[in-house]
Structures are given as structure tokens and as C-alpha cells.
Structure 1
């Protein structure tokens, strides 16, 4: 009884402490007793931030760590059989199947079949197994594997990776899933910005090997921009000088309209060194994996420690830019732009498919429409032409995220497609309309 009273005094003193929760640590030495008595874990006093010149802190840390490991080693572990979700790995298709699917993970992962089973990609299967959401098993051939189940450990699942690239994809996939994003493989993309008849065309021989636009610019400069031209042409203003200088430097003109993007969509004859690996959506409550819409981000993965890989070259970046299919930021900036009216799902406009789904459940949709009408409309602030130009130069047009994997550490680099050659970056006086607005 004296030990129990002393324990209650310590627990009450910790609960009355003025320290924040993140400044308090758990006392694992009394965890086993408190779990039996159905009480809360006690909290100790302040942390020691600076060494005091003795071994007292190391001794206290050793005892606390030893008590924590002993408590975890003697605790009962397991899962409730009723809530257990079994997933069976099929080596023939390198996927996992769930015969009795249940859980919130089905909203963003897995592919439902007509027979009621759910098939998981290997990266989804391993991610759910690490979280403890599913129990992994191996689907053995030649026997009735449902009655002779072979459980898989996490170490054995890591041996099932087929390549280093697949392992890198899983690391980035799991990292983004833990942050709360909805992540899918680029192979399972159902929505597209391009029409069904707007298929990628292959590059011709001249487009692959002959930079004809650069030759044309060089010939133009040879005849019209030589030292003698400065004796013939008379310049009366600074913008004239800058415009002529702009003609001397060859540059790549980025696509700025929908038609330009469709014309730029092409694929090389050779297999590209880099391609889009993952599609990422921002977390939202109405996300549907059957009709998710265009992704918010597209990710290309690069392993820094792989000797067979190199940092993307200019040709690799151009190939990636021409294969992007996501919500382009420079199109979203316009006020009248709606992505549902410019996105195709199975060859049809997404707004039409959404209208059909609304007819099935009008009650839920009416409440959502009422809530949208009650919400205040966003007021778009007027931005000067100079501010818009700075935004275009800073953010660019098309962009993607390059995930650099370095010994397990993941860094994200945003690579944008800017167009400095088309922008007049020299000073130009403001127009009269803009000056009249500011008055």
C-alpha cells in the first residue's frame, strides 16, 4: 500500500506540473503497474539540457531506456481476429489480393474487381503491412494456400523488390503517404488533360538530330546582325537596342496556351531515361480513386547513389516536360478556368461524368451546392503587369518535382520551365490605363 500511495503522489505531482506535454517524458518503469490498474502513464519532471559534469544523467538515461525495452518486450502484442485484414502476395503478377476488404485505406489505395476482391500494387501492399493495417501472406503455388497460410515478415517483403528503381519509388511513395497526400502510380492515371484523339506523336529524324530553329536563327544573325549593321541602323530608343539584342540569342519558347501544349506533346523514339513515376493529390475529403481528376503534382525520382543513373540532362528535362499531364499552374491563374471542363475521363469530359453521378444522389449534392453558395466568393486583387511578369519568371509555366534519394534521405526539387527570351525584362513606362486605375 505504501508503494501505491507513493506512486499516486508522483503521478499527481506530474499532472499538476506547469510544463507542456512535449516537455514531459514517460516513466516506463511504472508502465506495467499502471496498465494493470487502468491508469494514465505518469510524467516526470523537467529535462536536463546541459551536462553537469557527472555520470548521473547517463545513469538515469540508461535506466529509463532499460525500463522501456523491458516493458515493450513483456507486453502482449497481437491483433483482434475479427478486425484482421489478410493480404496475399501473388508472385505471378507482383501484386497482393484482399478477399475481404475493409478499412479507410480503400478510399485512396487498391483496385476493386467485380468479384469483390481488391488488388494492391506492391508498394501499397508493403506500406499497409508496415503500418499494420494488413497482415501479409504469401500465395503458394500447387497447394490450397488458403488453408496453409505462409506469413511474410517485413524483411522478407523487402526481398521481393524487383529493382532498385522500384525500391526508390516505394520510399518516396511511403514518405508522401505519411505526410497525408494521396499518391498513385503514373501507370494508373485515368484522367488526362489531352483529348483521346490528341495522341503523342513520335519525333522525326530532323527533330531528334537537327536543331533547325537554331540554324535558322544563326543564318538570320549572319546577314542582318553583323558589325556593319550598326553603321546602317539608327537607334532612337533603348527598347530598340534590347529588341535587336534579343534576336541575337537563341532561346526555347515555352508553350503558353492549350494549343501549344497539345502540339508539344510528343514522345521520343528511344526509351527516355526519366519519366513521371508518381502522381500526387492534395488531401481533400471528396477524393475518389475512380475519378480523382488531374494530379496536383507529378514526381520524377532520381537515386543519387545509383552508378547507372545521372542527373537529368537538358534533353531529359525536355522529354519530361513534354510528357507532363497535371493541373498546370499558369492555366489555373485565370479567373474563368475550370479544370472539370478541360479534363477528360475515359475519353469524356469530367464535368459530364460528374453530372451523371450527381443524378444518382441528388440529396447529398444539393447540400453541397447550398454550402458552396453560402461561402463568400474570392475577390481577385488586381496585379500590375510588372508583378505578373515577375511571377511568370519566378514560377515558370510547366513544372515537376524531382525527388532525389540519397541513402534513404529524400529531397524534393521543383524544376520549372521558364521563358526568359519572350519576356521584355527591361524598363517600360506604365500604360495610361494602369495609371488611371491606381488614381
Structure 2
């Protein structure tokens, strides 16, 4: 055999070996794919919704849904079994413990309608209701908003009171005395009174439905809400003191009197033209703005057009909140139903809302509130906002002291110009869809809240928005 024949045989042998290795690899890959496919096909979570998991205490994991039946007996039997289990889970009796059952009786008086809670149970009344005494009974009084909110979330069962129940409330003390101090005398509410459904409770609302929707939405988020009480002197405040307007005929005659010298050719310029007075040249914008005088003359407003009031006082969740002596509200909110009127609030209406705002807490009150706040080390993960604030503080700490003071100065000053001192939240509701808008008045004239701190940083500087050279 020649060398060429030997080389051709060896090359063919190598090719055959490579082909065998490739075939073996392909067979192995096919086997692995088959195993992977069988695992996917027979995955229990991906087949159907198994309602048997409802009978367990843990929440089941959800798999991919079946988009269409395949017609197999296996799938049909599994669906029937799961459907039967679903009906069994739905037919189970759902209830609560009798010791945690909260019952309220809707009372109708001559002057008021409210829900009376004879036995207080649960932690709902830290910020809800008012204490009330009826006869010898001490309970809690809920308004229509609070009643519907607790009933809607399934925490309260409301019954309609009648004359028999009212007589029992006011005369129960005499009955107990006649029976030698027997304190087991009680009124069977469930058998003698009628339970009210949500449809009837919604009809009890004495305020617009949009107000309740905003109230329930904020309560579910954890905020503390109380209704705003309109003060009697609000109408007086909306009438801003101003000088009486002059007669237009007298004003017209006065203008004509000042213009007659020019009409007769006595003066080349009008009577009050600047050329008749000493002129001044300005070389800096600061001097220009200093000589510009703002007109602080009060503006008249018609209270008849401002038929709008603040609806709710809102506080952030706080364990130390007291409904008897509440602190100044964190937010004050006005509900506007745009489904009835799409026009935005007019200027007199916005002014009326700002007149109704509660005064901001003083520095002493803020210090007292900070003393009562207990700071506990939080075990929660940092949010993105906290991370950005921490990184910003770290960057500021690395800067020079003068730069830190300068950044603090502009941050405090510009924040007053942008956000102002006080703000009112407008909740716009359109057929259940809620949007919240914050309206605030910018403090361009006086920076009362941060003026002391600004003077500490730059004592001899005018704190204004103009450019100081």
C-alpha cells in the first residue's frame, strides 16, 4: 500500500469517528429535550386550576392557564373534579367568632340620624366615632360615612332601630332595678330588628357620593380622616376689607381735568408724565426691583360665588393620634365632583378655601410633637427615595462648609417660592375616578417659616427672587 492510500484510509476513519461522536451527541441532546418536554407536559401546576388548594391554609401558586380543551378524558375528569371541589369550597359556611361580632343600630331622632354601637369591639374606634351616653348605656356614635365604611369592609352589621329599642335603651335602668339588680337583661337585636343591606345604607348618605368615595379610598390607605367643620366667621373673612369704589363719573371728570393742559397746548406731555419729575438711571436690576412697589390693596370678593368649603381634615397614620385633641392636620382636602360640573374652581372659591385653612403649627408645637415621636429602628428595606436622599446627604457632607450653607440657603428659599407655606388638596372625582391636585400659595413677600434660618446663613442679604449682584 502506498502512502497516499494509507492517508486516505486514516482520514476516512477519522471522519467516521467524528460522525459517530456527533450522532451520539445529537441522541443525548434529543433525550434531554424529551425529558425536558415530558417535565413540561406533566407539570401539575400548568394543567388546570385545581380548586383543592382552597381547602388548604396556604395560598397556592399559580401556573399558566389552559386556553382551550384538548378533548381527552383525563382533562374532562380533572375539570369535573376541580369544579366539584370549587362548589364545596363555596358552599362552606363563612362566619366570624361571636366575641368579635360588631353590631350597630341605626337610630333616627328628631334632629339627627346616626349609628349607635352599644358594645365596642376592635381597634376601629381610635379615630372613628364619638362617645355617647343613652340612658345608662355608654357606646359609640358613628355618622353615615363611618357606618357605611365599616359595613362595606365587612366589619359591622347594621340593624334598623325602632321605638321598642329606643324605649328599652332609656328605660333599661328601671327594669334592672325592679328585678333586684339583674344585669343579664338584654335586648335581642337579631330577632327584633331588621338588618340593613348596603343598598339601604347607601341611601342614608346625607352628603354626595363623591365625598364617600374619597373618604373610603383614603381610609383604606391608612390615613386618619375627620370631617371639616365650617366656622361661622368664614363668610366674614371672604369679604376682604377694601375702600369703597369711586363713582365712575367723578373718575372720568378727574381724568379729563388732568388732560386739558395738553389739549390746549400748554404742556407738551401729559400732566403726570415722568419727564416732569426727576429721572433716575438704573445700572442694576436689584435697584429696579427695589423701587418697584407691590400693590397690596385688598381685593373684593363676592361670597355668593364661593359656595365651596373644605371637606376633610387628613392626618398621616400615627399611633399617638387623639381624636379628642387632634393636632393640626397634615392635609386639608376639598372634594369636587366634576361629573356634574366640568369647570375648574374660580378665584373666589380658591380664596375661600385658603381662608379656611388651619394655621400652621408653631415651632414650639413642632418640637413637642417631635419629642413624643418614638423612633424605632426600621427593619424594612430602603426605598428608592430613601436611597437618593442618603446619597445626596453623603455628597453634601463631602463639600466645603460654605458650599453646604449656600445649597441649603437656595433649597429653603426656592422651596417657599415653589410650594409656599400652606396648601389645599383638591380631590376631583368623575364617576368614581379620582385625581388629586395640590394648590399652594407662593411666598414671594415674606418667608416667615425659614426667615430666621436664612438670616443666619446670609445676614445682610435680601431674600428675594431677584438677582443680587
> By the TM > 0.5 criterion, same fold?
yes
Cα–Cα, structure 1 residues 231 and 82, in superposed 2: closer, same or farther, change >3 Å?
same
- Listed as ranges, the gaps of 5+ residues in structure 1 are 1-8, 16-23, 49-53, 190-197, 213-218, 254-263, 332-336, 342-350, 355-367, 430-439
Q: CA deviation at 1:388?
A: 2.4
Structure number with greater Rg is 2
Which residue of 1 is the match for residue 151 of structure 2? 129
State the structure with bigger RCO (CA 8 A, min sep 6), 1 or 2. Answer: 1
Q: CA deviation at 1:27?
A: 4.0
Which residue of 1 is the match for residue 103 of structure 2? 86
Which residue of 1 is the match for residue 8 of structure 2? none
Which residue of 2 is the match for residue 358 of structure 1? none
323, 334, 343: which is aligned to 1:289? Answer: 323
Q: CA deviation at 1:282?
A: 0.8
Normalising by structure 1, what TM-score? 0.61
Which residue of 2 is the match for residue 242 of structure 1? 289
Which residue of 1 is the match for residue 358 of structure 2? 325
Q: CA deviation at 1:107?
A: 0.9
Q: Which runs of structure 2 are paired with 1:222-233 in the superposition (5 Å)?
A: 228=275, 232-233=279-280
CA distances 1:333-379 after superposition (whole Å, capped 9, x unpaired): xxxx12268xxxxxxxxx7xx9xxxxxxxxxxxxx9897799xxx99
Q: CA deviation at 1:418?
A: 1.2
- Mapped partners of 1:416, 1:407: distance in 2: 26
- Mapped partners of 2:105, 2:271: distance in 1: 71
Contact 2:223 2:315 (C-alpha < 8 Å) held by counterparts: yes
Cα–Cα, structure 1 residues 400 and 426, in superposed 2: closer, same or farther, change >3 Å?
same
41, 45, 49: which is aligned to 2:63? Answer: 45
Contact 1:268 1:319 (C-alpha < 8 Å) held by counterparts: no
Q: Which runs of structure 2 are paired with 1:239-388 in the superposition (5 Å)?
A: 239-244=286-291, 246-247=292-293, 250=295, 272-307=306-341, 310-325=343-358, 327=360, 337-339=363-365, 382=405, 383-388=407-412
Contact 1:26 1:44 (C-alpha < 8 Å) held by counterparts: no
- Mapped partners of 1:199, 1:25: distance in 2: 69
The reply to whether residue 107 of structure 1 matches residue 126 of structure 2 is: yes
Cα–Cα, structure 1 residues 370 and 85, in superposed 2: closer, same or farther, change >3 Å?
closer
- Mapped partners of 2:295, 2:274: distance in 1: 19
The reply to whether residue 411 of structure 1 matches residue 435 of structure 2 is: yes
Contact 2:360 2:422 (C-alpha < 8 Å) held by counterparts: no
Q: CA deviation at 1:280?
A: 0.9
Q: CA deviation at 1:75?
A: 3.0
- Mapped partners of 2:373, 2:429: distance in 1: 46
Contact 2:416 2:442 (C-alpha < 8 Å) held by counterparts: yes
166, 169, 176: which is aligned to 2:211? Answer: 169
Contact 2:159 2:193 (C-alpha < 8 Å) held by counterparts: yes
- Listed as ranges, the gaps of 5+ residues in structure 2 are 1-38, 169-186, 247-254, 260-269, 378-392, 398-403, 447-462
Which residue of 2 is the match for residue 98 of structure 1? 117
- Mapped partners of 1:273, 1:184: distance in 2: 21
